[in-house]
Structure 1
């Protein structure tokens, strides 16, 4: 435990801060899918342009993630994360303005803020809770997934009942964002001063294990963002209503919480994570294949995909810490895995939609997801054990060099 987090009250406040930050890393994104048809109709957007609402945050993740370790070295991770929360909050506010330009500009700001949180959280957990990486990763993944699921489920009801319609459904997430800004501020005040020295740092581009972790992160993220973007439309074309499709997307994310909580228990009995990762990825393949060959069983395949997706998310996040020597390595591996991984994920919803347009059906897009899941099974074997060699950093911006 770091000196800064010492004492039960300080430690508890840090954990609560991390969890509240995690609660804000997905709802502004997952609430878009169920509302995409309304957004498209009200703003007169072409389908490909409307799809950018999901793709732009992922491109922001890919662009911002590689520079987060250097920014953390200059300003300190606590200050950087607090600034990112402010940017994200401002982005939500901008997106509430009734215009297409504001909607897209706010989406980019939200993506940039979330990108910093995506990289910083695994590093802070590795630094301040090195003996509880699995437990806290599961906790923040569960919170993140749970709030994301709620955002999907309530999006259409809020848009139908609240003044402002879908603008309010997207803008209401400014409330938990402001809570996160307030709750994280004590960590900014307690942080050690940054010395402002930024030395050259290398991401582990030459490590095969780092590439395996990156591939696993990218493929599971591709599946998640395809699901939150297109599953509601797939469900509606199977004969369910728009609101029901939104609640099925909620179910997909809600059942993921079960495996988010169960994965750390399974890992305690395993020497490494290869078997758990391979089985979870194979379950994803089963769910996509089920939607392809038996689309009438939409409820069953939703549950299978949710359970498998929850496990894969926790594993992908845990790999960022478990495959690293220390907090510095976790930050570097996280930056690499999320920059390349989210580029892969960004292509998913676009290619999925293009295949649907070209083929006039869901068979080709779902076949693509079966191929992606097969690739994930393969890379899971490599990503499930070992340690990425150190990148040769001269100093540790996250404080890993302190006695714990």
Structure 2
């Protein structure tokens, strides 16, 4: 299989079915035609790309105080930085389907890795807050398009292993998140203590991720023309905005992202205000994030074997509610238990990615659903961390913010059940056309 298969994504036309695997669309090539080297190189590329989807964000969080001092950044601008990633993911992610139609999904992921490498390398030395933000936006644009298109690559090249490959991708993403959060400060010290070097060093990992994608693109054969008289069927237009499943997935994605950003931004402060030492509070956050590494591998494999993933959404939500209850009642006494529960709850992210791959029949459907669910979802997630901070500041405690977090978990469970139903957006598109 070559990357030209991906260049047809989102065209609205589909060739006749080439594989009998259930649930795959006509854009999915026959697994028998896949050269072994392509699968191995793409697997390496998938893992390396996933490792790069969060270090640009979490490395900055680890050195935020030093960056603020070094650039003379105001507290307001520094606070807004916590919402900039979600905004960029939503804004730049909209362009991903159109770019994939023109250049192929693998080509855009390759360009995305290059953008991450360049943005992360340049931003510490851009000179001033404006240059820092512009270079950060470049890196976040690369992350945004890769966020959208990596599930499409999985659906296209691994149609019979959506669960296992999504698990591998999610595990690598969680590992990259944790490594950047844990290693940025000690690496900065080892490089002489300058925050510029501590941020720029992560560009090397992104540059490494470009290599396997270039290898695939260099071996792409010419696009084959259809045989004379060969039949091609126009797929009915997928009216994504009229799909209940698409909206359920978008809201589920947005609410789980809200919970994740709140956890990453405020959980250590909750523990510190309860009397937990600062060092221990940081370790508790690391434990919460590290829970995603093994669970992100197991959960998608389990979800892919189930016809209805709603029960998993309920279970993860229940862990979140239990964790919030513990933070309300005894934040210090049961801190380790609450950290573990919050880590389990945050694994709604790999569940959402898995459902995106399962709720469409074709790769073209997946790219539309992935773009819609993630762009709308990240827009939904923007106000959450800011609202929690405002409630904390004006109430003087964590009662109201924790109540808000628990309250948001209830609709997350509800829409997770709806998104987990065994539906396909193409089928809903046909129903919308008939209506």
Q: TM-score, normalised by structure 1?
A: 0.89
Name the residue aligned to 1:237: 273
2:85 paired with 1:85: no
Cα contact 2:162–2:304 (8 A) shared by 1:
no
Runs of 4+ more than 6 Å apart: none
SS at match of 2:94: helix
5+ residue gaps, structure 2, are 2-28, 225-235, 431-435
Cα contact 1:324–1:388 (8 A) shared by 2:
yes
- Distance apart, 1:3 and its partner CA: 7.0
- Distance apart, 1:328 and its partner CA: 0.6
2:372 paired with 1:336: yes
Q: 1:272 to 1:280 in 2, by over 3 A?
A: same
Name the residue aligned to 1:304: 341
SS at match of 1:270: coil
Q: 1:231 to 1:34 in 2, by over 3 A?
A: farther
Once the two structures are superposed, residues 288-321 of structure 1 have per-residue CA deviations (whole angstroms, 9 ceiling, x without a partner) of 22212221122221111112212x1111110111
Larger Rg: 2
Q: Which moved more, 1:84-93 or 1:131-140?
A: 84-93
- Distance apart, 1:111 and its partner CA: 1.3
Cα contact 1:57–1:112 (8 A) shared by 2:
no
Name the residue aligned to 2:103: 75
Once the two structures are superposed, residues 97-133 of structure 1 have per-residue CA deviations (whole angstroms, 9 ceiling, x without a partner) of 1532232222211211101111111111111111100
Give the Cα–Cα distance (whole angstroms) in 2 for the partners of residues 7 and 146 of structure 1: 29
Q: Which moved more, 1:251-260 or 1:334-343?
A: 251-260
Once the two structures are superposed, residues 326-380 of structure 1 have per-residue CA deviations (whole angstroms, 9 ceiling, x without a partner) of 1111100000011110011222222222222222222222221111111111111
SS at match of 1:205: helix
- Distance apart, 1:138 and its partner CA: 0.6
Q: 1:27 to 1:257 in 2, by over 3 A?
A: same
The equivalences for 1:242-391 within 5 A come to: 242-267=278-303, 270-296=306-332, 297-310=334-347, 312-390=348-426
Name the residue aligned to 1:129: 158
Give the Cα–Cα distance (whole angstroms) in 1 for the partners of residues 75 and 420 of structure 2: 38
Cα contact 2:115–2:142 (8 A) shared by 1:
yes
Name the residue aligned to 2:20: none
Q: 1:102 to 1:304 in 2, by over 3 A?
A: same
SS at match of 2:306: coil
Q: Which moved more, 1:354-363 or 1:23-32?
A: 354-363
Q: TM-score, normalised by structure 2?
A: 0.83
Once the two structures are superposed, residues 231-258 of structure 1 have per-residue CA deviations (whole angstroms, 9 ceiling, x without a partner) of 2333333334444433322211111223
Cα contact 2:303–2:309 (8 A) shared by 1:
yes
Give the Cα–Cα distance (whole angstroms) in 2 for the partners of residues 177 and 265 of structure 1: 27
